[in-house]
Amino acid sequence: MKKLIVALVVGTLILSGCNTKKTESMNPFLTEYTTPFGVPPFDKIENEHFIPAFEEGMKLQQAEIDAIVSNSDVATFENTIEALDKSGESLSRVNGVFFRLRSAETNDELDSIARVIMPVLTVHNSSIKLNPELFEKVQAIYAERESLDLSDEQAMVLKKTYRGFVRGGANLEGEAKERIKEIDKKLSMLTMQFGDNLLKETNNYQLIIDSEADLAGLPESVRSAAADAAKAADQDGKWVFTLQKPSWIPFLQYAENRELREKIYRAMFMRSNNGNEYDNNQIITEILELRIERANLLGYETHAAFVLEERMSKKAENVYDLMMQIWEPALDKAREEAIMMQEMIDREGRDFQLASWDWWYYAEKIRQEKYELDEEVVRSYFSLETVKEGLFNVVNNLYGLTFEPRSDLPVYHEEVMAYEVKERDGSHLGILYMDFHPRAGKRGGAWSTSIRKAHVKEGKQVTPVHLIVMNFTRPTGDKPALLSFDETLTFFHEFGHALHSMLTKCEYLTVSGTSVATDFVELPSQIMENWAAHPDVLKTYAKHYQTGEVIPDQLIDKLQAASKFNQGFVTVEYTAASILDMDYHTLKEASGLNANDFEEASMKRIGLIDEIIPRYKSNYFQHIFSGGYSAGYYSYMWSEVLDKDAFNAFVETSLFDQATATSFRVNILEKGGSLEEMEMYVNFRGAEPTIEPLLNGRGLN
């Protein structure tokens, strides 16, 4: 393996002139971290360290696997399943840094390293999952599971380990097993390339405005941000808008120049669909073909059937059923909204039909007219700092946690903030990093991810290290970072994932933290949004960035009244993308598929109106073609059924009722994936959820 990696590295010319002996002797990944709490020494990590660290990590894990296989003792949970769960610690250390940087702070060199290491890592992981001697031991233990004295967590670890081998192809033989290896290797490269293409296409676009007249309608804060972006792009005296959400969304909301609105919106939804080197059309077809072939080899008709077997939904029919329960009322609501907007266009004497690039603009105008709700006024009460402190207070009131800034911990970028998380009694719980603003090396969106998962090692608790990454509006001029209310909800959302990771009480990595089905993993995150939007909570943290004035009741009332406005659009664009995802992954054949034609037919079938496009069109649908949500984008809505019902448990008592909070912590957050998801939910709520709270919350019934 070492020769293979070295050859690949030399071939890509990314480490030319590297002194190998010096790199190995000073490589921070190759020894235990000596930093406080064992966090990664970001200040000492160089790109040249990654290849040797990956190489050594794979070598050490292979030695651990060999030891499990060669053990002549009877296979037991401890000497096989537990040993397997705890193997690969050194490899996890470098994984936990490299792939976080690849998402949040990448560069050409890291991209080159990824192209080198991804296929090698895939081969390494496949060699473990397809090791017949190892699987024989796992299978023997699983066959005797009913007679073993296992805890609930151990039983789940055994089940997930066995299922992981089977779903990885361990039962296959001969050519089929070799083909699975090749498919996994190709998929790892294609999904990575999809994301790389999207990031480059996003970064390559700028709408440069040199006439102030073209800024008509834009608030001063949006103009200032665009002027700052222009200065950073060596375009002093001009205004630059990009395809980062904090840039293009305000432009669509406020810019009076319809031609420019169309221009930036088309640039956004045509990303990686322009027939250039960053086009994703062929990649989509290849990914779909390989996923179908892989599913077929494993005995499933479709990729969706393969994926959903391990989800709460279990099968595609159940996903479609939920989506269509939501689709029809949402589409009716969206049609009403479109009529309202067209009436405003006509009243203005404008001679055009509402188009998708008009929706954001007229939705904002109607919001201001109908609810007298000015987004810029709203932002003034949601500075990043006050939202953060408000979030900390909510979590403290619920679970007693505190967050202490730690300037002594190394970070991977100067903007990243580090916090020590402590329990009510002051004991250490974990480390949380937060990275707030867009950069060229950061992919779009917001996410929450583990650098180190909580687990027990040699009888001692290893505490979690977690990272939240976002792309919030930057400070401009003398103004702090002022968040939209949607950005505020996003902050609370991602923090919920962090809590799930931080509060886990699991011993084993296999089930630790967020290691749950994707249609359950959004429950801990989405439930936090309910506190963010509650009037009583808003009064504790929504304060004017200049005066400190608490958000007035009148503005809260307007926010509440407007919360269901435009829900037709919001729900339709999301549900359309979810259905598109399912349509792709219920295919039994994808040869020769054209993504644009397929998407058009899919949306026509469900009756999507021309004025709305799916939240993610195929060529930039990163969740399903580069992330972990293939046949799973519906999960946010499935989890919303859970979160709205779960939050009612607090509403029925009080927002910070300690018994309810403790029950949610103990039965959901601390359990990780150690029990079946519905069992955990019923243990908390006492019954399975219904869809009515979701429909009520969105104003769709």
What residues are labeled active site?
494
Instruction: Write out the two tokens for 259.
Output: 């031609």
CB 228 within 8 A of CB 476: yes
- Residues pairing with 421 in the sheet: 403, 430
Query: For 476, phi and psi rounded to 5 degrees?
Result: -135, 135
**Angstrom distance (rounded) from CA 280 to CA 283:** 5
- Only one residue has tokens 């730690």, namely 406
- Only one residue has tokens 């006509």, namely 346
The b-or-e profile of 32-41 (16+ CB within 10 A means b, else e) is ebebebebbe
Question: What does the H/E/C string look like for 102-138?
Answer: HHHCCCHHHHHHHHHHHHHHHHHHHHHHCCHHHHHHH
CB 526 within 8 A of CB 493: yes
**Angstrom distance (rounded) from CA 690 to CA 688:** 7
Q: Which residues contact 570 (CB under 8 A, 6 or more apart)?
A: 698
- Only one residue has tokens 């096989």, namely 80
**Angstrom distance (rounded) from CA 292 to CA 284:** 12
Question: What does the H/E/C string look like for 22-71?
Answer: HHHHHCHHHCCCCCHHHCCCCCCCCHHHHHHHHHHHHHHHHHHHHHHHHC
Instruction: Write out the two tokens for 455.
Output: 């687990």
Q: Is the dihedral of CA 617, 620, 625, 630 positive or negative?
A: negative
